[in-house]
Amino acid sequence: MSAKAQFPSEQTAEGQFVRQEDAFHGWVSADGRSGFPAAAGRYHLYVSYACPWAHRTIIVRRLKALEDAVGMTVVDPVRDERGWAFRDVPGASSDP
C-alpha cells in the first residue's frame, strides 16, 4: 500500500521530486550595494530541523558566528497541507 504524498504538487506522476522555483536572487553584502546590507536584526531564519536544505543555513549561521546578527525560529518538524507551522512541540520555537 502506498502513502499519499503530503505535497503532491512537488512530485511528478512517477514520484520524482520537483523543486519549486527559487524566489530569492539577491546577495547580502557588507557594503549594501546589492540592496541587501549585512545588518544585525535585518534578517531572520525560519527553519525546520526536518528540512535538509535548512540544515545548510543553520550550519553557515553558526560557522560565520551570526547567531547575534541573524535570528532563528524553529517550526514544527511535521508539515501539514498548509505547510510548516508554529506549534508547541519539543525543539520548536513559539510564534514570533
Cell numbers found for residue 14 = 512517477
**Three-class SS state of 70:** coil
Cell numbers found for residue 87 = 506549534
- Residue 17, H or E segment: none
* Given the residues 38, 45, 51, 66, the one annotated as active site: 51
Specify whether 13 is catalytic.
no
Residues marked active site are found at: 51
